[in-house]
Amino acid sequence: MITIALPKGRLMDESLEIFKKAGIEVDVPSSRKLFFTDKENNYRFLIVRAQDVATYVEYAAADLGVVGRDVLNETEPDLFELLDLGIGYCRMVVAGRDKGCINKKNSAVKVATKFVNIARNHFLKKGLNVEIIKLYGSIELAAVLGIADCIVDIVSTGRTLRENGLEVIEDIFESTAFLVSNKISYYAKNEQIAKLINLLKNERAC
């Protein structure tokens, strides 16, 4: 059996949709149960927080996982990226109240973000000093309330920025979700993993 860690929420629904189209049928438990199998008992799925998927795979509690490029770029886990699933599209951006918000003459730019490494590297490349303010959610508020000059965050529909009077200042990269594997599982279960990748690829080609 192959164990696959899925991120809770919208990306889990989109992942299961792809698996279903590839012929892997599952009944998601309506209870608080955090794992379930497909109908043919070939795959076991774990329901975990998006930020934790790579950890479960790295520690080989799961053979495979579905992880966004945003999380991969932030945490740089030691995993094989097997397939771009093309789901969970979003953009990593710098956003703020206006285009001038990152033009600081004598002081560091204050950046609020969950993506500390991505933010630091982005501003480093631009040669700007930054002070990173680490937050865990509702990042936009930090720019609205002025504790940060700007934010680095993901934008999907753009609604959260719009409804809070913020705009995109710079694009950093585009993100979609990838199927990842730890190295041990990749070699030990190569045949089954290759079969799954083919099923998913064929589905994507349709």
Q: Cα(189)–Cα(31) distance, rounded to whole angstroms? A: 30
Kindly state whether residue 127 participates in binding ligand PRP, applying the rule CB under 6 A.
Answer: no
Kindly state whether residue 158 participates in binding ligand PRP, applying the rule CB under 6 A.
Answer: yes
Nearer to ligand PRP, 9 or 23 (CB): 9
The minimum distance between CB 107 and ligand PRP, in angstroms, equals 26
Strands 130-134 and 109-113: parallel
Restricting to residues 131-150, which ones interact with ligand PRP according to CB under 6 A? 137-140
Q: Which amino acid is at 143?
A: A
Kindly state whether residue 156 participates in binding ligand PRP, applying the rule CB under 6 A.
Answer: yes
- Within the chain, what is the greatest distance between any pair of CA atoms? 63
The minimum distance between CB 166 and ligand PRP, in angstroms, equals 10
Q: Cα(32)–Cα(43) distance, rounded to whole angstroms? A: 19
71, 92, 149, 171 from 31: Cα distances, Å: 28, 34, 43, 40
The minimum distance between CB 30 and ligand PRP, in angstroms, equals 23
If binding means CB under 6 A, how many residues of this protein chain bind ligand PRP?
Answer: 12
Nearer to ligand PRP, 138 or 202 (CB): 138
Kindly state whether residue 157 participates in binding ligand PRP, applying the rule CB under 6 A.
Answer: yes
Nearer to ligand PRP, 137 or 146 (CB): 137
Check: CB of residue 21 under 8 Å from CB of residue 81.
no
Q: Cα(176)–Cα(204) distance, rounded to whole angstroms? A: 14
List contacts with ligand PRP (CB under 6 A): 137-140, 153-160
